[in-house]
Amino acid sequence: MPGKRKRRPVSSRPSVGKILFVSYFMPPTVGGGTFRPLAMVKYLSRLGWDITVITATTPAHYPTDPELEKQIPESVKVIRIPVVWEGSTFRRILGRLKLDWIPENLITPDERVFWVEKADNRAKKLLKETNFDVLYTTGPPFSILMGGLWLKRDKKIDIPWLAEFRDPWTLAPYLSIANAHHRRVANDTESDLMNLADKVVMVTPTFARLLKEKYPDHAVKVKCVPNGFDGEDFRDLPVRAEWHNETCEIAASGTVFGRYNMDEFLKGLEKLRTTEPGYYGKIFVKFQGLPNYKLNQRLLESGLNDRCASRGFVPHSENIRDLWASDLLVLPLAEVGNCEGHIPSRTYEYLASGTPVLAICPDGDLSDLLSDYPQVNIVKPGDTDGIVNALKDAVSGWERNDPLFEPDPNALRTLTRKARAAELDVIFKELLSKG
């Protein structure tokens, strides 16, 4: 297992400039929105940026990973504003009563907007006290981007603003837009953002293109800086040639339903059990990520829990080791509106592991990225036989103890979080050069 990381010492590199960074997620909180902000803070600080982060305390229902927090450089000042509505007793009661739809439909653009009001007040105070060079906001939650808009509208605040969409907003309305009122707010806010932001970052080529097409007068502002993997997460792993599992181990990491629809894979697993019970009896599937009631219910109803386990949250270092030690990784993407623009962030860690990947996805940015890697088997949604054949191939490879693919470090170098931070570094310096 990888050893415990120590926090990186303060760099002696001269400061390039000062960034005020607003992100709802930051370690020790763990969730899908944690890893990109962490990596940008980590690597931009090594490139000489002086960074102050405004972030939230950990909501009651989120897991934590103290080891991830140690990756935040000591030079980075982190200001944690207590969560407001999300952690309240009343909100938790609504959740237990299955009345989540009430706040989801009434509060725009999302329930974190109450926290954003407090974060903005703190940001205004900091901007008066310190000569920051750049304001950097990252969403979702999309209320963070609305908060950046509020700050930019303040006539006393006159610094460049970079607004980052880790997920699209109006371009993929099933993600966040609950009703017609939310849709109006989203479109109005996004339009104002495009007017006032100095740079806008999207994380996939298709969504960058679609945003440019929607706002042609501001297309020059839009940049694509994709996600990636942190190469430091893959240090000190065991020697792969000495590793062989007792069963053919299959891992699926992260979100499993919604736009990542794991049901296609489960249908293939059910057909394998019916048509090829010998193969089915040699596999074991581990789902890990935030606990998912729908997944657990699906496994019980289908009887697949004899060869599947939902592990829930595991620490990030353990998750990386499981990706590396598995015989097959499952990467699903549902066919939904504008799905061609989605690349699940865990894709990059899957590729870095070198483990064979079964990708169940339609044509688009994800399949374009994966097509360059020989360890990836791409199956279209609805092709249950293709999933069954991929599972049989995985079992056969495990029985033969085939050597696994060793990633080419040069091919992966452009996919690292470090390289992505360098791309943002160029954008920030461009903003500074324009005054």
Q: Give the mean pLDDT of 343-364.
A: 94
Cα 278–Cα 281–Cα 283 angle in degrees, nearest 5:
120
- Is residue 6 scored above 70 in pLDDT? no
> Quick one: which H or E segment has residue 293?
helix 293-302
- Separation of alpha carbons 352 and 36, rounded Å: 16
- Separation of alpha carbons 124 and 120, rounded Å: 6
- Is residue 51 scored above 80 in pLDDT? yes
Whether 239-412 and 17-228+416-433 are alike in CATH topology: the answer is yes
> 327-341 burial by CB neighbour count: b if 16+ within 10 A, else e?
bbbbbbbbbeebbbb
Residues contacting residue 40 through CB under 8 Å, at least 6 positions apart: 21, 138, 417, 420, 421, 424
Domain parsing of the chain, residue ranges: 17-228+416-433, 239-412
The 10 Å Cβ neighbour count of residue 326 is 26
Q: Give the mean pLDDT of 289-302.
A: 80
What's the gap between Cα 42 and its chain centre?
16
Q: How confident is the model at residue 245 (pLDDT cuts 50, 70, 90)?
A: confident
The answer to whether 279 and 270 are in contact (CB under 8 A) is: no
CATH superfamily of 239-412: Glycogen Phosphorylase B; (3.40.50.2000)
- Is residue 421 scored above 60 in pLDDT? yes
- Separation of alpha carbons 366 and 263, rounded Å: 19
Which range among 239-248, 275-284, 309-318 shows the weakest confidence by mean pLDDT? Answer: 239-248
- Is residue 273 scored above 70 in pLDDT? yes
- Is residue 103 scored above 90 in pLDDT? no
Q: Give the mean pLDDT of 156-180.
A: 85
Q: Give the mean pLDDT of 377-385.
A: 95
- Classify domain 17-228+416-433 at the CATH topology level: Rossmann fold (3.40.50)
The answer to whether 162 and 431 are in contact (CB under 8 A) is: yes
Which range among 114-123, 154-163, 226-235, 325-334 shows the weakest confidence by mean pLDDT? Answer: 154-163
Q: Give the mean pLDDT of 57-82.
A: 93
Q: Give the mean pLDDT of 247-266.
A: 83
- Is residue 3 scored above 50 in pLDDT? no
Q: Give the mean pLDDT of 234-255.
A: 83
376's tokens: 């990836």
The answer to whether 422 and 43 are in contact (CB under 8 A) is: yes
> Which pLDDT value is given to residue 172?
81
> Which pLDDT value is given to residue 254?
82
Highest mean pLDDT, choosing among 1-10, 237-246, 348-357: 348-357
Q: How is 73-110 classified by DSSP, letter by letter?
A: -TTSEEEEEPP-STT-HHHHHHHHTT-THHHHHHSSS-
The whole-model pTM stands at 0.91
| Mean of pLDDT over the chain | 90
> Which pLDDT value is given to residue 174?
60
> Which pLDDT value is given to residue 19?
98
